[in-house]
Amino acid sequence: MAGSLESQVDNLWFLPIEPFDEAHHVLGLSIGLSETLMNCNLQGIEVNGRAIDYFPAVEFNVASRDGDLIPLDHDLLRNLQGHSYWDVALSPGKVWSEADDGGWSRAALPFQLTNNFESDTHHGIATFLYRDAEILPIVFQIVAETKAFLCPENRQAWGWLKPPAARLKSDDLNERVDAYLGEIQDRLPIKSLGDWQSCDTQLYIKDIEQGLGSDSTIVTRLVVDDVIYTMPCQTSMGNYPYPRAMKFGIWSATKTALCTVAYLRLAQVMGEDPRDTEVAALLSEAKVNAN
């Protein structure tokens, strides 16, 4: 990817371009990012005294194994001292090599900008060249978002990050990579939602694609027989290229899902439907004093 990056580019540039091969180098780096002004369609706006057009000063710890880029941090990356409004969450990506990269390896890193208070999610992708402990400037873009709350809607951003990098210690690195590989063993397979459509299911698919909230939906998925069927996530720059990497901030859905799961667990433990059971029947402290 070359040029001055005066605007966003098609998301295809963050995928391997034929012909490509395996990465030349094993990735295991700590990448220190300084707070950086982003190109943004919403410049100079602050939320709660912090700027939405600055990428935060955080540290990315990343590794690779068998073509996967593996983030070693699962929690939000935060900098409470900086001027940027954003926290960062990282997701698994890919590493590979291309003939025109001059012997360097290339990485694609999906990520999300979010905020601990607002919990909205702005989906981004980054790519960079690396070898051993060296890294070239990172190019990134923000191409999709969930419903914004305090931050104005339809925010897009892009730019370059020019970080230093340091090699991670191999003992800690291998342990955390092994933990990641254990996690992905339980992942459900993903297929196109089109594979599940038939004459019988077509009406259900149409119901999903219309109605309340359909105009702001960015991706739809169904789980059928332990298989995830998904539509492409359409963004301003084409389909999001790493759909499994997408994380979403959720509000009322949390309460709905958590209560449902709690009821299912209670039913499993009690051996009966608990929804008609009164709390007072289980907790003596909840009983009304007849006197």
Neighbours of 143 (CB within 10 A): 27
- Walk along the chain (291 residues) and give the pLDDT tens digit of each residue: 433 567 899 999 999 999 999 999 999 999 999 999 999 888 888 999 999 999 999 999 999 999 999 999 888 999 989 999 999 999 999 999 999 999 999 999 999 999 888 778 899 999 999 998 899 999 999 998 877 778 888 888 999 999 899 988 877 788 888 888 888 888 889 888 878 777 777 777 777 666 655 666 777 778 888 888 888 888 889 999 998 888 887 667 777 778 888 888 888 998 888 888 888 887 888 776 644
Tell me, what's the pLDDT at 7?
85
Inter-residue contact 5 to 138 (CB < 8 Å): no
Tell me, what's the pLDDT at 136?
95
Please provide the distance, in angstroms rounded to a whole number, between the alpha carbons at the two ends of the chain: 78
Tell me, what's the pLDDT at 35?
95
Rounded to whole angstroms, the Cα distance separating 227 from 193 reads 10
Please, is 140 exposed, middle or buried when counting C-beta atoms within 10 Å of its C-beta (0-12, 13-18, 19+)? buried
Beta-bridge mates of residue 61: 30
Rounded to whole angstroms, the Cα distance separating 235 from 239 reads 6
Tell me, what's the pLDDT at 234?
84
Inter-residue contact 87 to 116 (CB < 8 Å): yes
Q: Establish how many alpha carbons lie within 13 A of residue 221's alpha carbon, considering only the half-sphere containing its beta carbon.
A: 16
